[in-house]
A and B are shown apart, each in its own frame.
Chain A
Amino acid sequence: MTDTPADRLARATPPAIARRVRGLGDRAIAWIFVAPTIFLLLAINIFPLIWTVRLSFTNFAANRPGREVEWVGLRNYERILTDERIWANMQTTAHFLFWTLFFQVVIGFALAWLINRRFRGNDLATTLIVLPMMLSPAVVGNFWTFLYQPQIGLINYTVELFTGIPASSFSMLGPGGLAKWSIIIVDTWMWTPFVMLICLAGLRSIPDYIYEAAEIDRASKWRQFWTLTVPMVLPFLMLAVLFRGIENFKMFDMVVLLTGGGPGNETLLASIDLKREAFEKWRTGYSSAYAIILFVTVFGLASIYVKALNRVRER
């Protein structure tokens, strides 16, 4: 009989320990494995969340340790929800969210569809397209600032070349209403490849025989696209929208580098405003309430969306 490593380990284990381990049920062993993760989850996610909820009902300021903390009830929530400035920031965030998702879905799907049609240089094109999403948002923010520079920037120069509008007569990141579109362009440039990759995975998961059957049934390419391709890629696309939606709701770094929330408050997203309230103005209680409102908004919207996604997948 062969002496396996498992046999050797069993012989080396003291009988008492072996009995104790053997005495544990599957459920207990499962708990032993899961407990550290649950502990970390509680310590890092749940406890801070509960603590934030508690702080949101106070006037606590983290930079004023000596000041008496007062219970203010729902006052912070009331101030936030009745503040026109906050609603304006929410609108700015919604504008950014809607248009970035719209452009990323349309362009990302179109690119995936093109890449999926095998052609020479396909792999190189895919690599080049996904490059932007590999860059750091800080790098992207900085070099787009240069691209948008009115005097030396490539964008203004190109506009002048094609339209005759003097390059230095307008500023993509300055006043005039272009700034909110400029940040959408940059985010779309950076993250469209992500949507493209997910769509590409969806397209490649569609078996060829389905299209062959459609061909036999003499379905046109247009009909194949709308009745086969789109419905089968839709769950993937919805997943991409979910990921990008959550990410863009939290968008901070790139926009701070590009505009700092300006000009005025034109690109002041909710996340930037929240950071200023929490860590520049140090209104900890107020900003906790602000964070809870944002959390409930994202969580609520994401839950509704996930239900819709599941329904689509079940179809």
Chain B
Amino acid sequence: MKSRYLGASAAVAIAAGAGSVQAETLTLCWAAWDPANALVELSKDFEAQSGHSMRFEFVPWPNFADRMLNELNSGGKLCDLLIGDSQWIGGGAENGHYVKLNDFFDANGISMDDFMPATVYAYSTWPKGTPNYYALPAMGDANGWFYRKDWFTDPEIMAAYKEATGEELREPQSQRELMQIAKFFQGREIDGKTVYGVSIFTERGSEGITMGATGALYAWGFKYENTPGSYDMEGAVNSPEAVEALEFYKELYECCTPPGYDNAYMEQSLDAFKSGQVAMAMNWFAFFPGLYADPNTGGDKIDFFVNPPQNVAASTLGGQGISVVSYSDKQDAALEYIKWFAQPEVQKKWWSMGGYSCHMSVLGDPGFADTAPFAADFLVAMEGVRDFWQEPAYASLLLAMQERLHNYVVAGQGTAQEALDGLIADWTEIFEDEGKL
């Protein structure tokens, strides 16, 4: 109720005219990564047009959730605008951290139909899929793959692969083919250096191994519930397909990653690729512009592909929406920023600077696929994205999965079946505590 009132009053203020809002200094909080730097540049236009000035609080990814959720839970006023992870939307809405934006959108002619449906569903709505909006889709993202194109097109390496497998060396068309290629490269000497197959996510502390392993789980058809909204997980989370996918991920970790790759996430994956250690690597699309621009391993030496399907085509969702923090004293100015950011021309510039716009005026442009070597892949990936639980108890749910997966995949404890059965037990306990079961 409080957030609705705040949203409505802010909407009235904006509708009355931006000029009525006095010049403010707004603080925008996000993770510290390449797109954040692009947003700093982009926001200079907003400063020039609105008279407001912008401050930025960027936190490195491993500490981002910790830092920002602490801020929200303590009712802190540090952030006026927050580009929070998609999984936070449930807690942000139910705990009153985010301002509900429906009235504001209506008053300012911002339509969610102008944004890619998958991103609206994932980044903006709570309860899921309902027209209750707590964020504007800001940064589309999914977990994708990139590889050493120069190695894949090297005649000697291609011939060796053909001889070893009887198949052509190409972008993998399935998860199994990805492993076959990774095994081929593992320990191979290229340019006098030992190289390895893949870098994948195995990190224990935040969300790494979950984000990596779900890439395989979703491709095998993993589901969180038998019926959406029922919390009925038995037979879905631990289905035979899910067990097979998890066994696959463990085998991929054991057969084909560089030595000591037991606690790796985004940064380590990028390092492994940029240092010429691995043939293929997984990471978020957000990093692809920087990878393509890399003087050593970018340009002609790199190419990209969508998470390969196995039983189904699916990718792990990344990305975020931008929300107005309900504890901010500068909500009018913050809403003004969102109104500015939602404009098609700003969204086009956002994409051109390295941000992944979710606006259909950008993504639906016939020439979009040719704007970058990874643009077409991004569109394909976003059509099949799947996200983790977005429940208010998401942190507990995530940590339980982190623990179960790391224990099995990296520490080698138990079986995949035991890990997933245990995960259901953990999640059931959490949902019982939440009063949802």
Contact = CB atoms under 8 A, between A and B. Distances in A.
Whether A associates with B in a native complex is: yes
Interface of A: 59, 62-66, 148-151, 168-169, 171, 173-175, 256, 259-266, 276, 279-283
B410 A175 contact: yes
B396 A65 contact: no
Interface in B85-133: 91, 94-96
**A-side binding surface: helix, strand, loop or mixed?**
loop
Contact of B407 (A169, A171, A256, A264): A264
Nearest to B91: A63
Nearest to B260: A150
Interface in B57-83: 65-66, 69-70, 72-73
Contacts of A168: 259-260
Given A259-B204, A260-B205, A283-B396, 18 more contacts: A63-B73, A64-B95, A65-B96, A149-B260, A171-B262, A173-B262, A175-B411, A175-B412, A256-B205, A262-B205, A262-B406, A262-B410, A263-B411, A264-B403, A264-B410, A265-B407, A265-B411, A282-B396
B392 interface: yes
A262 B263 contact: yes
Contacts of A279: 66, 70
B21 interface: no
A66 to B, nearest CB: 7
A65 B407 CA distance: 33
Contacts of A256: 205
B263 A151 contact: no
Contacts, number: 88
B150 to A, nearest CB: 22
A262 B262 contact: yes
Contacts of B65: 280
A62 B205 CA distance: 21
B433 interface: yes
Interface in B381-397: 392, 395-396
B207 to A, nearest CB: 11
Interface of B: 65-66, 69-70, 72-73, 91, 94-96, 203-205, 258-260, 262-263, 392, 395-396, 399, 403, 406-408, 410-413, 433
Contact of B69 (A63, A262, A264, A276): A63
Contacts of B407: 264-265
A260 B202 CA distance: 12
A177 B288 CA distance: 36
B406 A263 contact: yes
A259 B263 contact: yes
Contacts of B205: 256, 260-262
Contacts of A276: 399
Nearest to B97: A63
B260 A282 contact: no
A192 B106 CA distance: 66
Contact of A263 (B94, B96, B262, B433): B262
A90 B153 CA distance: 53
A151 B258 contact: yes
B359 to A, nearest CB: 32
B73 A62 contact: yes
B392 A174 contact: no
Contacts of B73: 62-63, 282
B395 A282 contact: yes
5 contacts: A63-B91, A168-B260, A280-B65, A281-B395, A282-B396
Contacts of B411: 175, 262-266
Contacts of A265: 403, 407, 411
Nearest to A153: B260
Given A64-B95, A175-B412, A280 B66 contact: yes
B294 to A, nearest CB: 20
Given A62-B73, A63-B91, A263 B263 contact: yes
Nearest to A264: B411
Contacts of A260: 203-205, 263
Given A260-B205, A261-B205, A174 B95 contact: no
A287 B395 CA distance: 15
Contacts of A64: 95, 392
Contacts of A262: 204-205, 262-263, 406, 410-411
A261 B205 CA distance: 8
Contacts of B260: 148-151, 168, 171, 173-174
A173 B410 contact: no
B196 to A, nearest CB: 10
B262 A280 contact: no
A169 B433 CA distance: 44
A171 B257 CA distance: 13
A43 B249 CA distance: 51
Contacts of B91: 63
A91 B51 CA distance: 59
A66 B262 CA distance: 39
B115 to A, nearest CB: 29
B71 to A, nearest CB: 11
Contacts of A62: 73
Q: Which of A168, A175, A262 has the most CB of B within 10 A?
A: A262
A263 B204 contact: yes
Nearest to B204: A262
A232 B180 CA distance: 67
Contact of A264 (B94, B392, B413): B413
Nearest to B430: A281
B76 to A, nearest CB: 13
Nearest to A176: B412
A197 to B, nearest CB: 34
A166 to B, nearest CB: 9
B263 to A, nearest CB: 6
A62 B263 CA distance: 30
A14 B230 CA distance: 80
A162 to B, nearest CB: 19
B96 A66 contact: yes
Contacts of B413: 264
Contacts of A169: 259
A64 B258 CA distance: 42
A281 B410 contact: no
A256 B412 CA distance: 20
A133 B159 CA distance: 56
A293 to B, nearest CB: 19
A173 B263 contact: yes
Nearest to B408: A264
A174 B258 CA distance: 12
Contacts of A175: 262, 410-412
Contacts of B392: 64
B48 to A, nearest CB: 38
Q: Which of B260, B395, B407, B410 has the most CB of A within 10 A?
A: B260
Contacts of A261: 204-205
